[in-house]
Chain A
Amino acid sequence: EAQVTQNPRYLITVTGKKLTVTCSQNMNHEYMSWYRQDPGLGLRQIYYSMNVEVTDKGDVPEGYKVSRKEKRNFPLILESPSPNQTSLYFCASSLLGGGKGRNEQFFGPGTRLTVL
């Protein structure tokens, strides 16, 4: 089954404790990205990747890191989480990076993160 998976689905942690949220897709998509969703603010892009070893900042990258060592995986790293990073996080992937032809974004199930 074609899908995007994320782990963990729920996470409660404390300020400063490093964490990683994994994202994996099995559709051979070049483009992957991370979003955070907060009430009234919609989906804000954190980082994106056009292909292996190619990553770039989105609209709200501060406090986050990513890596793209393999095509299927795109982990989100919070080196020192803070309470303002409490949010719902979505990973997404697509076949072609933006604008070129049909570019349906496939979203993972989401990770609800709480930083105390």
Chain B
Amino acid sequence: GENVEQHPSTLSVQEGDSAVIKCTYSDSASNYFPWYKQELGKRPQLIIDIRSNVGEKKDQRIAVTLNKTAKHFSLHITETQPEDSAVYFCAGTGSYIPTFGRGTSLIVHP
């Protein structure tokens, strides 16, 4: 099945800094790349996604970039705020079954 690796496992930044989380995937058939945010004590929720025919997608302070050749995609958060503190998960969708990365705990210090 799909193998998805996510780095780093923990990321600590100062408020206002940028944060970047990276994922690599193994299945070249994957064509949909979502990012989920899980706040403490809550369920994961989709925050942004990208399809394989697009290289970059932005939504206000967050963006996702995709490099299909290298099989990796990244989440970029600019001007981080304390409410961005959460666990972020990427997912690969090869073989029709979504496979999640292990998650990145982002801590934004005021």
Residues of A within 8 A of B (CB): 35, 40-43, 45, 48, 50, 58-59, 90, 94, 97-105, 107-110
**A105 partner, pick from B29, B36, B101, B103, beta carbons under 8 A:** B36
B43 near A110: Cβ-Cβ < 8 Å = yes
A99 near B44: Cβ-Cβ < 8 Å = no
Residues of B within 8 A of A (CB): 1, 6, 9, 29-32, 34, 36, 42-46, 49, 51, 89, 91, 93-103
Docked complex Cα distance between A103 and B32 (Å) = 8
The minimal Cβ–Cβ distance linking A5 to chain B, given in whole angstroms, is 11
Determine chain A's interface SS by DSSP, over half rule: loop
Docked complex Cα distance between A41 and B6 (Å) = 11
A99 near B32: Cβ-Cβ < 8 Å = yes
- Asked, given contacts A42-B101, A104-B34, whether A99 binds B45 with beta carbons under 8 Å apart, the answer is no
A100 near B96: Cβ-Cβ < 8 Å = yes
